[in-house]
């Protein structure tokens, strides 16, 4: 018995998943679970996924252009690129946060010290 | 400059065994310097002991930042309180307190913006270091000469005096992690004049080196990369601003 496939089946799934991904990201931004400035890459790449799931010849065009013999490999390439870029962006964000975090810690330490000094001088002037 | 205001910055992490002795040693040498202990979220009694000694101001970081973040806190403090000279004095007992005034004098005399207490710019170094560590130190010397054309023999020394211009600059630009060698490049790159003076070192009295031998290769690569990046980064102080 020969199993028959609907040749478009995978495309339906691909379109459905990439649209769901796009909507989920929009929802997260709407609920302020992700800040806009950190979500640009996600939005960009979910749009790219939608593009390639709707435009069937897209992968062939891209793989021909890049000289990739097996078109689905181009899909993995795009995925990898997306993950890489997003992770690099995360590293940048983390570095910035770490720097701000350090500055805050230093500021807190100095303010704390300053408050102690003021408290001591008040106690000295007015007694307890 | 009549009687410059001097701040001695002592970064301390779990130095309860030696901190009070350190402070007393420094105090013995001079009564006019202000001592500032940056307690880098020590888990032991460092903070209480330093505070109760009455010899130093103590600023306690809310969590551990590492030596770079701790020393930078001291520079920020020095800027705000209007000090003329800031001296970094690592709190592990390696640096002889009686040599502080020598370093400060060189800065006061305007010999350099930064004076580094070096363990190596004379043949007899007083203490024995592991040969891997010596090799690493040689590599730093060569590498930084390539990058900034100033010959510094002891890049990892935590015994340094800075004038106001230098510590003000570092208060807003200080690397973290293993910062000392990178600071040399950062300063050289921004046209600060550095000078080394030989200082006899003690074996450390307490604590352990921030650089265990086993992590040497990792440390070397990390620091050389950081030095290289500091060198190819564009200057923070532009030449025209100096005029």
pTM of the model: 0.84
The model's pLDDT over A55-93, given as tens digits with 9 standing for 90+, comes to 888 889 999 999 999 988 888 899 899 999 999 999 999
Chain position carrying tokens 């002891």 = B154
CA distance linking residue B196 with residue B171, whole number of Å: 21
Query: What pLDDT does B243 receive?
Result: 45
Percent of chain B topping pLDDT 70: 86
Chain position carrying tokens 């800040």 = A35
Mean pLDDT, to the nearest integer, of A41-67?
90
Q: Of A21, A48, A25, nearest to A35 (Cα)?
A: A25
List Cβ neighbours of A110 (8 Å cut-off, separation of 6 or more): B59, B73, B76, B77, B80
Mean pLDDT, to the nearest integer, of B185-190?
92
Pick the residue of B7, B52, B62, B74 with the most A CBs within 10 A to test the interface with A by mutation: B62
Taking the CA atoms of residue B174, residue B175, residue B176 and residue B179 in that order, the dihedral angle to the nearest 10 degrees is: -100
List Cβ neighbours of B33 (8 Å cut-off, separation of 6 or more): B6, B7, B8, B26, B100
Contact A102 B65 (CB under 8 A): yes
Cβ distance B173 to B63 under 8 Å? no
Report whether pLDDT(B209) > 90.
no
Report whether pLDDT(A122) > 90.
yes
Least-confidence region, from A72-76, A93-97, A101-105: A72-76
CA distance linking residue B99 with residue A39, whole number of Å: 55
Query: What pLDDT does A11 receive?
Result: 85
Using CB atoms, pick whichever of B61, B80, B176 lies closest to residue A109. B61
Task: Tell me how far CA of residue B125 lies from CA of B156, B161, B210, in angstroms.
Answer: 15, 20, 20
Q: Quickly state the pLDDT bin for B203 (edges 50, 70, 90).
A: low
Task: Please give the residue that has the higher pLDDT: either B60 or B153.
Answer: B60
Pick the residue of B38, B41, B61 with the most A CBs within 10 A to test the interface with A by mutation: B61
Interface of chain B toward chain A, CB-CB under 8 angstroms: 38, 57-63, 65, 69, 72-73, 76-77, 80, 176
CA distance B67 to chain A (A): 12
Q: Is B5 in a helix, a strand, or coil?
A: coil
CA-based nearest residue in chain A for residue B77: A110
Measured in whole angstroms, the distance separating CA B65 from the mean position of its chain's CA atoms is: 15
Q: Quickly state the pLDDT bin for B202 (edges 50, 70, 90).
A: low
User: Phi/psi at B104 (nearest 5 deg)?
Assistant: -65, -40
Packing angle, helices B180-189 and B216-232, rounded to 10: 10
Mean pLDDT of all residues in chain B? 86
Cβ distance A59 to A68 under 8 Å? no
Structure tokens that stand for A101 in this block: 């975090």
Q: Is A47 in a helix, a strand, or coil?
A: helix
Least-confidence region, from A25-29, B32-36, B117-121: B117-121
CA distance A109 to chain B (A): 5
B117, β-bridge pairs: B197
Contact A106 B73 (CB under 8 A): yes
């Amino acid at each position: 018995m020969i199993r028959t496939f609907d040749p478009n089946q995978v495309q339906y799934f691909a379109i459905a998943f990439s649209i769901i991904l796009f909507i989920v990201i929009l929802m997260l931004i709407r609920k302020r679970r992700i800040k806009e400035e950190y979500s640009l890459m996600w939005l960009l790449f979910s749009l790219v996924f939608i593009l390639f799931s709707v435009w069937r010849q897209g992968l062939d065009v891209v793989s021909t252009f890049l000289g990739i013999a097996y078109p689905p490999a181009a899909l993995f390439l795009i995925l990898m690129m997306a993950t890489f870029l997003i992770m690099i962006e995360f590293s940048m964000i983390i570095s910035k946060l770490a720097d701000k975090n350090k500055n805050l810690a230093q500021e807190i330490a100095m303010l704390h010290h300053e408050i102690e000094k003021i408290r001591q001088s008040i106690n000295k002037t007015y007694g307890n | 400059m009549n009687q410059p205001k001097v701040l001695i910055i002592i970064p301390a992490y779990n130095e309860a065994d030696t901190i009070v002795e350190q402070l007393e040693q420094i105090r013995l040498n001079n009564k006019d310097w202000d001592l500032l202990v940056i307690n880098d979220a020590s888990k032991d009694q460092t903070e209480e002991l330093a505070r109760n000694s009455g010899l130093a101001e103590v600023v306690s970081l809310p969590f551990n930042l590492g030596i770079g973040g701790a020393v930078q806190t001291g520079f920020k403090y020095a800027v705000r309180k209007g000090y003329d000279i800031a001296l970094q004095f690592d709190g592990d007992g390696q640096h002889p307190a009686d040599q502080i005034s020598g370093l400060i004098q060189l800065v006061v005399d305007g010999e350099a913006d930064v004076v580094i207490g070096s363990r190596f710019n004379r043949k007899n170094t007083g203490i024995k270091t592991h040969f891997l560590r010596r090799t690493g130190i040689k590599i730093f010397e060569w590498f930084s000469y390539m990058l900034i054309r100033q010959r510094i023999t002891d890049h990892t020394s935590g015994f340094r005096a800075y004038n106001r211009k230098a510590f003000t600059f570092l208060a807003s630009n200080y690397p973290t992690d293993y910062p000392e060698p990178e600071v040399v490049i950062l300063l050289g790159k921004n046209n600060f004049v550095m000078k080394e003076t030989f200082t006899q070192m003690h074996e450390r009295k307490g604590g352990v080196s921030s650089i265990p031998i086993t992590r040497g290769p990792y440390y070397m690569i990390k620091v050389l990369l950081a030095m290289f990046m500091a060198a190819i980064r564009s200057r923070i102080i532009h030449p025209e601003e100096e005029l």
